[in-house]
Structure 1
């Protein structure tokens, strides 16, 4: 029943059978572009290179800004005695950027979906 589960995954862009690893990279290409945890997504590099390029343009400013605001929020809570308003601004900014990133990821998937 669970034989060869990795081959049963489908690419969210074209519907071809791909490995589980390639499916996750396709779903979270924006994150893959910024944090390369999976070294070589063969399917995306071969068939959806323009998708990866678009993800790189969209993801980098949002991901790194969200990471910086999250770091500043956590630092302002734990280490630095800043006014509560400043801490809230950092937290709201970080949350807004992570939510924006999720929306951009979904819209990018919808824009490049071919099936």
Structure 2
């Protein structure tokens, strides 16, 4: 593990070219520059999205779907859906009974 001075493609590529001879798997965010630098320096290692960034992409996709769907709703339901955004991101086992009810209600729309 190391910390580089910046996030530039050339910096990453040079570092990996010097220190990455035995690297087979790279865990990283899916920044296109990082991905290109890794591929140029190491060939075709297995690239895995780290857990935080993978979850973030899922949340972004869910939020985009929520926005598209709620555009079709009346103002009351649109406001309710926007206010309960955080419920969609919570584990089902962590939802209160009231939050579970709201989630079930939103699925009917």
> Do the structures match in fold with TM over 0.5?
no
Structure with larger Rg = 2
State the TM-score, normalizing by the size of structure 2. Answer: 0.36
Instruction: Judging by fraction of residues, say which structure has more helix.
Output: 1
State the TM-score, normalizing by the size of structure 1. Answer: 0.35
Q: Which has the higher contact order (CA 8 A, sep 6+)?
A: 1
